[in-house]
Amino acid sequence: DGGITQSPKYLFRKEGQNVTLSCEQNLNHDAMYWYRQDPGQGLRLIYYSQIVNDFQKGDIAEGYSVSREKKESFPLTVTSAQKNPTAFYLCASSHEQGKTEAFFGQGTRLTVV
Amino acid sequence: GESVGLHLPTLSVQEGDNSIINCAYSNSASDYFIWYKQESGKGPQFIIDIRSNMDKRQGQRVTVLLNKTVKHLSLQIAATQPGDSAVYFCAENTGGFKTIFGAGTRLFVKA
């Protein structure tokens, strides 16, 4: 089945630790995105990537980092610099950036304890 | 399940009735609009899209209407079913990387 897979579904982290969220897609999409979702708010863009080895900051990139070494993979690292990391993180991909719909993963719920 | 949108606007409808979910978009230059459905604990799923050269588009049980004059988008769901209960997001795009998502509306279907 083609799709986009995020792991893990739930993640707990101690304050001061970095943590990496996985996102893999087998849809052959060029564009990939990371969003953050908080209760009562829409999705906010953290980072996006148009092609391999290229990525750009979104609206709320501070405290996050990404890599795009392979077309299929776009991992997100939440660093200790992120002041309020507890949130629901969504990865997405699309065939053509901004012109077609995005396909979303099932999300990762990150909780800082 | 995941709590997304604890304080969202809520629309409550009776099973079998039609639902209309409204959305005001922000950018008059936006030319591509999408509706997504998000069930509790899951990622958003594409429902239907429309481009700015159209006023109306129909899918299976869903219709999207676009009024560019007042920057308004609506999603109509015919014969609403309990499985339609979810949070619905509209999204707008100007053709680049930036897709702007609305805060969402929670649809609750009463059996």
The residue that leads in pLDDT, B83 or A42, is: B83
pLDDT score for B2: 37
Q: Which of A6, A56, A105 lies nearest to residue B97, judging by beta carbons?
A: A56
B88: which chain A residues are within 8 Å (Cβ-Cβ)?
none
Q: Which of A39, A56, A99 lies nearest to residue B6, judging by beta carbons?
A: A39
pLDDT tier at A42, thresholds 50, 70, 90: confident
Could you report the per-residue pLDDT of A9-39, keeping only the tens digit for each?
Answer: 999 999 999 999 999 999 999 999 999 999 8
Contact B110, B12 (CB under 8 A): yes
pLDDT tier at A97, thresholds 50, 70, 90: low
List Cβ neighbours of B76 (8 Å cut-off, separation of 6 or more). B18, B19, B20, B21, B62, B63, B64, B65
DSSP string covering B46-100, please? EEEEEETT-SEEE-SSEEEEEETTTTEEEEEESS--GGG-EEEEEEEE-SSS-EE
Rounded CA gap, A71 and A13, in Å? 28
pLDDT score for B38: 95
Contact B73, B33 (CB under 8 A): yes
Give the DSSP H/E element, type plus range, for residue A24.
strand A19-25
With a pLDDT cut of 90, the percent of chain A lying above it is 81
CA-to-CA separations, A24 to A51, A53, A104, in angstroms, rounded: 14, 15, 11
pLDDT score for A65: 98
Of A3, A26, A8, nearest to A107 by C-alpha is A8
A40: which chain B residues are within 8 Å (Cβ-Cβ)?
5-8, 103
Residues of A with CB under 8 A from a CB of B: 6, 31, 35, 37, 39-43, 45, 48, 50, 56, 58, 88, 90, 92, 97-99, 101-107, 109
List Cβ neighbours of A111 (8 Å cut-off, separation of 6 or more). A10, A11, A12, A13, A86
pLDDT score for B26: 85
A107: which chain B residues are within 8 Å (Cβ-Cβ)?
2, 41-43
Could you report the per-residue pLDDT of B9-50, keeping only the tens digit for each?
Answer: 899 999 999 999 999 998 898 999 999 999 988 999 999 999
B45: which chain A residues are within 8 Å (Cβ-Cβ)?
104
B97 and A88 within 8 Å at the Cβ level: the answer is: no
Q: Which of B4, B46, B102 lies nearest to residue A37, judging by beta carbons?
A: B4
Rounded CA gap, A39 and A43, in Å? 10
pLDDT score for B7: 63
Q: Residue B89: is its pLDDT beyond 90?
A: yes
Could you report the per-residue pLDDT of B54-87, keeping only the tens digit for each?
Answer: 999 999 999 999 999 999 999 999 999 999 999 9
A36: which chain B residues are within 8 Å (Cβ-Cβ)?
none
Could you report the per-residue pLDDT of A66-86, keeping only the tens digit for each?
Answer: 999 999 999 999 999 998 999
Q: Residue B1: is its pLDDT beyond 60?
A: no
